[in-house]
Amino acid sequence: MFTAWVRSFEQHAARRRAAGDPDWGRTARLDDALVRSVQRFQTGEDGDGASLLAKSARAGDAAYLAAVRLFVAEEQNHARLLRLLLGAAGAPTIDGHWSDRVFVWVRRSLGLRLELMTLMVAEVIALRYYEALRDGRADPLLTEVAGRILDDERRHVPFHCDRLRQGFAGMPQVLRPVLAAAWWVLLLGAAVVVALDHGPALRRLGVTRRAFVRDTSVLFRPVVAAVFALRPNFVRPAARRGMTGMKPTGARGTGCRPAAGG
C-alpha cells in the first residue's frame, strides 16, 4: 500500500522541481489580518517531524516510513513557501503561537494512531483554510502559494486515512462509534479555535466563522466514515452539495483515497 504512496510523493516532488518557485520578485499586498493569520499557519507548518518519524519507524513498515519522510518534506516546503510569501509582503515570521504549541504537545504525547488522528484534524482544517486563501482574491501571489499548498494537502488527507484505516482494522465494531465521536469533538473544538483566532482574516476572504466551522465539518465527514468504516449517516453533520466548491479529499467513494498513480 505505502509503496504506491512513496511513488506518489516522489512524482509530485519531481513536478514541483520542474515547475520551480513562484515569482518572489512580485510584491504581495496583505493587510494586517492576513499577515497575522499566515504567520500563525507558517509556524504550524514549520517543524522537523521528529516525533512522527520516530513513531513511524517503530511501526516497522519501511515503505510507510519512507512515505512519512516525504510527507514531512512537503510540510517543510509549505513553511518555506509561507515564509517567502511573508517576505514578499514585507512581514517577518514569528517564533510560535500558543495554539500551535498546545497542538504539538498533544500530538507528541500520544502514540502513532492518536498522533495521526490529531494531525488529521489539522490537515482537514488546512484544506478549508488554504481554499479560503486561494479563492479570496486578496493578492495574486497569495492565491498562487495557497493553491500549491492546497494541492499537497488534498493528498495528505487520504495518505493518513490509509494508515489510520490499517491501524484501526482490528478494533471491535462496538468501539468505533465511541472513538469517532471523540474525534468529532476534537475536530469541532479545533475548528472553532481557528475560526475565532483567524476570524478577521477569514472575513477579509469572504468566509464567516460559522461557515468555516461548517465547511470543515463537511470535509471531515468522509474521513471519519472511511477510517472507521461507519455508515455515512452516522458521521454527521451532513454535507450540503456545492458548499465549498471543492471535493472533500481525493477521489473514489469515501473521499479518502488518492487517484491511481498519485
Question: According to DSSP H, which parts of 31-90 are helical?
Answer: 32-45, 50-58, 62-88
The identity of residue 186, as a single letter, is L
Side-chain half-sphere of 51: how many Cα atoms within 13 Å? 16
d(CA 115, CA 106): 8
Cell triple for residue 7? 511513488
Q: Which three cell numbers stand for residue 53?
A: 518519524
* Alpha-helix residue ranges (DSSP H) falling in 89-172: 98-108, 112-135, 140-167
Cα dihedral sign for 175, 178, 184, 186?
Answer: negative
Q: What is the pTM of this model?
A: 0.84
Q: How many CA atoms lie within 13 A of 153 on its CB side?
A: 26
Tallying the residues shown for the chain, one arrives at 262
Instruction: Show the cell assigned to 128.
Output: 478549508
The C-alpha cell that represents 160 in the structure block? 493518513
Question: Quick one: CATH architecture of 2-17+27-228?
Answer: Orthogonal Bundle (1.10)
Look at the block and give the residue holding cell 468529532: 184
Asked whether 91 and 30 are in contact (CB, 8 A), the reply is: yes
The pLDDT of residue 251: 31
Distance between start and end Cα atoms, the chain: 12
Q: What are phi and psi of 121, to 5 degrees?
A: -60, -45
| pLDDT one digit per residue (tens) for the chain, 262 residues | 899 999 999 999 999 999 999 999 989 999 999 999 999 999 888 776 888 899 899 989 999 999 999 999 999 999 999 999 999 999 999 986 555 555 554 555 457 888 899 999 999 999 999 999 999 999 999 999 999 999 999 999 999 999 999 988 888 888 899 999 999 999 999 999 999 999 999 999 999 999 999 999 999 999 999 999 875 443 333 333 333 333 333 333 335 654 333 3
Distance, CA of 121 to CA of 14 (rounded, Å):
28
